[in-house]
Structure 1
């Protein structure tokens, strides 16, 4: 199952992107009977919110959001026109803010960045199923 949306990134678009993910996962469950946990839906919305926030801050303008799932994994791809590649900051519990990419890396199974002829593309993969410890499937330590 696949779906795409385009946004002209402003702060109000973050909520629309989160809703797009929520609706996509609800449709995946309704149309295909795929077991999508509430926790996975929350985590997917958090990831999209953090990625979209970074677009608003560092690459305002057009943004494309692609979602794809096989019923086990959700692939979230976000393209923006910004040339600067994101990087997680060193751990600092006293730092206020700038924890978004750290959060994304903690909850995803894989994360990749591709430079494009214009801008960049981030691809994040998440499990739609919860493991026994209630962590969306198989968190990979970074």
Structure 2
């Protein structure tokens, strides 16, 4: 189930080492641009703060960004805002859109095609939080930077 967020969805603002915000226009390239921005942000976190950003964290971040931005573009009119935040142990992907409807997992079934994005994001993240805003909603997904079961952490 999607958790309703405590005040800001995740971590206290002072705990963030870095933050970056992006406005994603509705053109066809905004999803690819969002993925590119997220990977560049993780690269900066790794080099500027010497954080252990694993290959798995990079892949999951790219997947989460793709799913959340795709859903925002598909179901909400207007712009999409993405914020990336990093702590010593996790990256948070925050996506805001103008639709106030809180997404809900769909019932599974053999005839169901598509609409698995929320399930995917929930399965690969440490936390998924949804906040209704005065206009729209904000979804925050938290992904661990290091993978204890993997020796592939990039330094």
- 22-31 vs 4-13, which deviates more? 4-13
1:11 aligns with 2:28: yes
Matched with 1:46 is 63
Structure 2 stretches lacking a partner, 5+ long: 1-17
Q: How many residues align?
A: 134
Matches of 1:120 and 1:18, distance apart in 2: 21
Q: CA deviation at 1:133?
A: 6.7
**Superposed, which structure 2 residues align to 1:1-142 within 5 Å?**
1-132=18-149
Matches of 2:35 and 2:69, distance apart in 1: 9
Matches of 1:52 and 1:11, distance apart in 2: 11
Structure 1 stretches lacking a partner, 5+ long: 135-142
SS of residue paired to 1:11: coil
Preserved contact between residue 79 and residue 120 of structure 1 (Cα < 8 Å): yes
Q: CA deviation at 1:83?
A: 2.0
TM-score (norm 1): 0.88
Preserved contact between residue 61 and residue 80 of structure 1 (Cα < 8 Å): yes
Matches of 1:11 and 1:52, distance apart in 2: 11
Matches of 1:11 and 1:103, distance apart in 2: 22
Q: Whose relative contact order is higher, 1 or 2, with alpha carbons under 8 Å and at least 6 apart?
A: 2
Matched with 2:9 is none
RMSD: 1.5
